[in-house]
Chain A
Amino acid sequence: MTRFLIRRLIQSAFILLGVSVLNFALMRAAPGGLVSLYGDPRISPATIQRLEEQFGLHDPIPVQYLKWLGNAVRLNFGVSLIDQRPVVEKIGERLPATIQLSLAAMVLGLLGIPLGAYAALHRGGLGDNVIRLFTVFGNAVPHWWLGLMILVISANTVRLFPLGGMYTQGDGSLVDRLWHLALPAMIAAMGGWIGYSRYMRSEMLEVLGQDFVRTARAKGLPERLVLLRHVLRNALIPVVTIMGGTLAALVSGSVLFESTFSWPGIGRMAVQAAFQRDYPVLMALNMLGAVLVILGNLLADLAYGWVDPRVRYD
């Protein structure tokens, strides 16, 4: 186990290195530069030169990368080129919002698992069909658009949901926060509901048809125990493996959802930073994303071992 973890850590370090090189190269290959400077023709070329110098943008790009790397390994991600504040601080301000939304969506999304199990056990029944209809329809509209439309309809009819934001200014009570969280979390959880329920349903059906289930039933084991001990457990194994990707998917999804719901998180920040070419912020956010993907994969592997004792790490 320890050896497995150490190996994975070393592997992850190399992956992160590769990610950082690619990110840096792509970012700098993209056309356009600091909009805050180039976008305002009143700033004289001499001033631009001086500021670029100050930001270290005149070094050759490989040198800039190495400097960045040297600082990054010490967890120093530099300062934003837009407001000169430490990147870590800026991200720290917005991360809680993203975590809140992502966690809520992740937890809500897990409801898809019981839904899928239910559908499998009542195959062909009303519940199964309703769930199938939901998953198929839910898949066929862009979720950001669905969220926006619900907001617009809600604004013009019954105010079921607030028009975005994390809380009402001057309020901020738990109820108020939950009210603001409800719609974004549900929209963000849709993917989870659909994905998990479809996956779980087919896994359950697969397992239900297998010999050991029949054997267990033949042994006279109570149906409840058969389901809990054999069917659910076995069906969960592959489901767990896809959970790893959820975290990363939520973070990348935040790019769209946070704009739609005026959510002050890192997704919106990433879009702004990309359009402004705020390189240090972007690098830090990209690395954060990479760490989450890697972490998600690792957790999935560990969870795999937990639900399936046959898996050993070495």
Chain B
Amino acid sequence: MAEVTQPQLGVTRRPAPGVVWEARPSPGYLQLTWRRFRRDHVSMAALGLFLLICAITLAAPLLVTHVLHTDPNTQDLLNNFAPPSPRHWLGTDELGRDTLARVLYAGQVSLRIGLVVAAVSLLIGVPVGLAAGYYGGRVDDAINAVIQVLQNIPGMFLLIILSVTYRPDPTLLAAFIGFIGWMGTARLVRGQTLSLARRDYIDAARVLGASDARILFRHILPNLTSVVTVIAGFEIATGILLESGLSYLGLGVQPPTASWGNMLQGSLDYVTRAPWLVAAPGAAIFLTVLSIFLLADGLRDAFDPRMRG
């Protein structure tokens, strides 16, 4: 498993260490990046796929009502485990609910989880990483110690506590996942900040009397755009994958709210009997995470052209 990829419960979860990011402030930086990005067919395809998934998921209520003419919660016990057919494109589940409709609605939950995980992880990880990298010394030591302690808290218990202190709410679950996992983000940001803070132009700014806040927000933070963008991508993907792992242990999104993770988990009993129940959420996770990873890869390459494959 190694840190990079499949995040595991509560411990050592770092976004993929892709690259040591180079900061390169220059006018038109973003335009240049976009121009480079556009030339990469794979990345453009990934972007297209990701946007398509987002669009379909957002439009799920409309699509399900007007195109599929059903509802994710409508049960039809007499027609359970129906194989794919023109009426139910991806078949039905054990309660006769339309699998496609459920996958679409679950997508809203899963994508929201990904986004919230990324947001929380960045909201905590970036400032903490900035502080550690910029101030160094005692501050850095203290933050490091806190991170090391937090890396060792049993995420599982947080989630069990969570499961009773809240009414079923995937967003809160995601916030907790993000809260357990911001340490990796902080470390990456710290590393970047550390190298930026030693640059001549930062020294120059300091000599010119710029305040810490000004240096951090005007000079360092903008240079972290590329890192942060890529981390965000990885965190979204990570959040979606992690939720599936938690569902496997029964600690993910709780039924009857559907997420891709708990649909995947719930379908395991029907692998041989109703393979479409496994395939649908599996494919959804796969395509989404794939597009996000490719997108993040492409962005990283575009930000830093020397890395291009």
| A residues with CB within 8 A of B | 11, 14-15, 18-19, 22-23, 26-27, 29-32, 105, 109, 112, 123-124, 128, 132, 136-145, 148-149, 152, 156, 188, 190-192, 194-196, 198-199, 202-203, 205-206, 209, 238, 242, 245-246, 248-253, 255-256, 259, 271, 274, 282, 286, 289-290, 293-294, 297
User: With a CB–CB cut-off of 8 A, which chain B residues contact A136?
Assistant: 290, 293-294, 297
A27 to B278, CA, bound (A): 34
User: With a CB–CB cut-off of 8 A, which chain B residues contact A286?
Assistant: 152, 154
Candidates A26, A255, A256, A290; contact of B157 at CB < 8 Å: A26
Decide if A249 touches B1 in the complex (CB within 8 Å). Answer: yes
List the one stretch of B15-23, B29-37, B210-218 in contact with chain A: B15-23
Q: Is the interface of B mostly helix, strand, loop or mixed?
A: helix
Q: State the interface size on chain B (CB cutoff 8 A).
A: 54
A206 to B307, CA, bound (A): 7
A192 to B1, CA, bound (A): 5
A29 to B158, CA, bound (A): 9
Instruction: Known contacts A22-B153, A139-B293, A145-B244; decide if A253 and B8 are in contact (CB<8 Å).
Output: yes
Decide if A246 touches B3 in the complex (CB within 8 Å). Answer: yes
A206 to B158, CA, bound (A): 40
User: With a CB–CB cut-off of 8 A, which chain B residues contact A202?
Assistant: 18-19, 307
Instruction: Known contacts A132-B309, A242-B3; decide if A137 and B160 are in contact (CB<8 Å).
Output: no
User: With a CB–CB cut-off of 8 A, which chain A residues contact B2?
Assistant: 109, 112, 191-192, 194-196, 242, 245-246, 249
Task: Decide yes or no whether B306 CB sits under 8 A from chain A.
Answer: yes
User: With a CB–CB cut-off of 8 A, which chain A residues contact B290?
Assistant: 136-137, 139-140
List the one stretch of B54-62, B111-119, B132-140, B143-151 in contact with chain A: B143-151
Candidates B18, B145, B160, B164; contact of A14 at CB < 8 Å: B145
| Closest 6 A/B residue pairs (Cβ) | A195-B4, A191-B1, A252-B11, A195-B2, A191-B2, A140-B290
**Residue contacts A-B, CB under 8 angstroms, 29 given:** A15-B149, A22-B150, A23-B152, A23-B153, A23-B154, A139-B5, A141-B282, A149-B271, A191-B5, A195-B3, A195-B4, A195-B5, A198-B4, A205-B306, A206-B306, A206-B307, A242-B3, A242-B4, A245-B3, A246-B3, A248-B12, A249-B3, A252-B12, A255-B8, A256-B8, A256-B245, A259-B249, A290-B152, A293-B151
